[in-house]
DNA sequence: TCAATAAGAAAACGGCGTTCTCTTATTGAC
DNA sequence: GTCAATAAGAGAACGCCGTTTTCTTATTGA
């Protein structure tokens, strides 16, 4: 392997590792996405990954940031004015359904990705993630002007939580997949697309309802504590 | 260590292991809950755990089942008749807030606990979990008779997803906890109690709204596909 | 031309969940 | 009471993981 000494060459190596990670993730899922797999896919040696990222978590966080940015780009493109709650829900749901990797990484964000990383690095990434999250809130406010800004932000955070909770449930491992084929457990086998679509519709309906019942500026019961 | 040969003695060992697991979980969290830790806490040798459980996942699944059963017991006790949406939300939220271990295990259910386990065992446990989930749905229908049964079931599943998504987010590791102390990220530092309370209220509001707009028996948009 | 630098490579580390092997306490049949 | 069969306890070993350490050597700028 020829050595990367210039900043550009180093950036290429970083991109190469991220690309390999994305490939392994698509091919073998998170379980198969070990540093060994990433390294061999990228054609480099495992220990050298640590010259470009400080941990496995950082790699995945960078990937998450890229994906979220892309999805928010798409959202900002599409949303240009007020829409119905139903349309808005569909739009948001489609955004997630179109990015399975984003959903996977969101589901891993709090439980695993935000560990094993220096505070400085985490701060930088978290800041960038917040920027994107705020872009999404802005898009939501554009689509549903009835929602106050603070409520829209809460909605986006809740949405992330929903994705984090629903994705693993909708993408079971082979053991559970076997079971879900049995009629007894069929109701549990709903697709992620159906689940997230229903959930977002309910969420937005609930938020507009609560917002109506709350004439003050307080978006949600606890936000004013 | 004296040997457990009678069925009762074996049951005691199982209980001993479950107890030790709960203790380690309470003391050191999921990260510290290795088989080494469980074994040393239980005063037995690691390899012998496999004479009583087929994997680490099974131990945690059994614990989850116990916790869920306990919480559903409590719920059934309290709910005896119709209540307002607000009261119902508070009740459900309190049920989860009172059982941090249950919340933790729910958040681990789909991503990790339902793997590495024989299909037969998983079926047995899943069936038992479903029974409890249905008890919860029944309690919800009692509290909010306006919700059709199918909707109540969907609500409970959504509730589990919410807990699964919200719990890890509200219980960050030390790295993120450092960051959340900074004013810039303060909005992300909401407590689990606040989050889950708000979310359940929104969820129930949304569900009743959607249920009203849906005069047919179909509980949710996709349940009739 | 050459010493300094740092990227690549490989071995080693500690820890994990799990399996294998061996010992030996306990048992039920005789 | 004796004894072979059983199976629980114990501990070493396995393979994998993420990470660190060490060494080599290609590349660089003086």
Query: Is the full-model pTM beyond 0.85?
Result: yes
Q: Band of the pLDDT at A219, cuts 50, 70, 90?
A: very low
Half-sphere exposure (CA, 13 Å, Cβ side) for A192? 23
Q: Which CATH class name applies to B1-53? A: mainly alpha
Chain B residues within 8 A of A201 when measuring between CB atoms: 206, 210, 221
C-alpha A213: how far from chain center: 31
Nearest CA in chain A to B194: A222
Nucleic strand D contacts from chain A, 159-198, CB < 7 Å: none
| CA of residue B55 to C1' of nucleotide C17, angstroms | 8
pLDDT at A218 exceeding the cut of 60:
no
The predicted-structure confidence for B19-57, as pLDDT tens digits, reads as follows 999 999 999 999 999 999 999 999 999 999 999 999 999
* Residue from the list A166, A179, A197 with its beta carbon closest to the beta carbon of B123: A179
Nucleotide nearest to A31 (CA to C1'): D17
pLDDT in tens, chain B (225 residues): 899 999 999 999 999 999 999 999 999 999 999 999 999 999 999 999 999 999 999 999 999 999 999 999 999 999 999 999 999 999 999 999 999 999 999 999 999 999 999 999 999 999 999 999 999 999 999 999 999 999 999 999 999 999 999 999 999 999 899 999 999 999 899 999 999 999 999 999 999 988 777 654 444 555 433
Residues 6+ apart with CB under 8 A from A174: none
Give nucleotides in strand C with any atom < 7 A to a protein C-beta: 6-11, 15-21, 25-27
Distance in Å from D26's C1' to A123's CA comes to: 36
Among A115, A119, A158, the residue with its CB nearest the CB of B179 is A119
**A vs B: CB pairs below 8 A:** 161
Contacts of A178 in chain B (CB under 8 A): 119
Instruction: Write out the E strands in B67-135.
Output: none
Are B202 and A210 inside 8 Å of each other by CB? yes
Parse chain A into domains and list their residue ranges.
Answer: 1-53, 55-213
Residue whose structure tokens are 């919410």? B162
Please state, for a pLDDT cut of 70, what percent of chain A lies above it.
Answer: 95
**Binary contact (A123, B179; C-beta < 8 A):** yes
Cα angle, residue B152 at apex, residues B149 and B156 outer, rounded to 5°:
145
Cross-chain CB nearest to B168 (options A111, A158, A166):
A111
Closest by alpha carbon to B117, among B46, B57, B47?
Answer: B57
Residues 76-135 of B with CB under 7 A from strand D: none
Q: Looking at residue B213, what is its pLDDT?
A: 73
pLDDT, residue B221, reads: 52
CATH code given to domain A55-213:
1.10.357.10
Is the Cβ pair A130, B164 closer than 8 Å? no
Taking C1' of D17 and every protein CA, the nearest residue is: A34
Q: With CB atoms and an 8 Å threshold, state whether A158 touches B122.
A: no
Residues of B in contact with A205 (CB under 8 A): 205-206, 209-210
A99 SS3 class: coil
**Residue A206: closest C-alpha in chain B:** B206
Q: What is the pLDDT of residues A131-188, one digit of tens each?
A: 999 999 999 999 999 999 999 999 999 999 999 999 999 999 998 999 999 999 998 9
SS (H, E, C) chain A: CCCCCCHHHHHHHHHHHHHHHHHHHHHHCCCCCCHHHHHHHHCCCHHHHHHCCCCHHHHHHHHHHHHHHHHHHHHHHHCCCCCCHHHHHHHHHHHHHCCHHHHHHHHHHHHHHCCCCCHHHHHHHHHHHHHHHHHHHHHHHHHCCCCCHHHHHHHHHHHHHHHHHHHHHHCCCHHHHHHHCCHHHHHHHCCHHHHHHHHHHHHHHHHHHHHHHCCCCCCCCCCCC
């Amino acid at each position: 392997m020829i050595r990367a000494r210039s900043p550009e060459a180093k950036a290429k190596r970083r991109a190469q590792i991220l690309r390999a990670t994305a490939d392994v993730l698509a091919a073998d899922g998170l379980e198969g996405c070990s540093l060994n797999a990433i390294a061999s896919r990228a054609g480099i040696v495992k220990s050298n990954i640590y010259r470009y990222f400080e941990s496995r978590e950082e790699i995945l966080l960078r990937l998450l940031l890229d994906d979220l940015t892309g999805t928010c780009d798409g959202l900002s493109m599409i949303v240009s004015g007020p829409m119905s709650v139903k349309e808005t829900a569909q739009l948001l749901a489609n955004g997630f359904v179109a990015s399975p990797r984003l959903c996977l990484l969101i589901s891993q964000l709090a439980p695993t990705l935000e560990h094993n990383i220096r505070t400085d690095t985490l701060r930088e990434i978290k800041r960038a993630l917040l920027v994107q999250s705020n872009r999404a809130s802005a898009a939501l406010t554009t689509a549903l002007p009835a929602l106050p800004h603070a409520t829209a932000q809460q909605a986006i955070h809740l949405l992330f939580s929903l994705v984090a909770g629903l994705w693993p449930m909708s993408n079971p491992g082979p053991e559970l997949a076997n079971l879900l084929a049995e009629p007894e457990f069929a109701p549990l086998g709903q697709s992620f697309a159906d689940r997230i679509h229903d959930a977002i519709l309910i969420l937005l309906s609930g938020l507009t309802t609560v917002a109506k019942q709350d004439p003050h500026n307080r978006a949600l019961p606890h936000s004013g504590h």
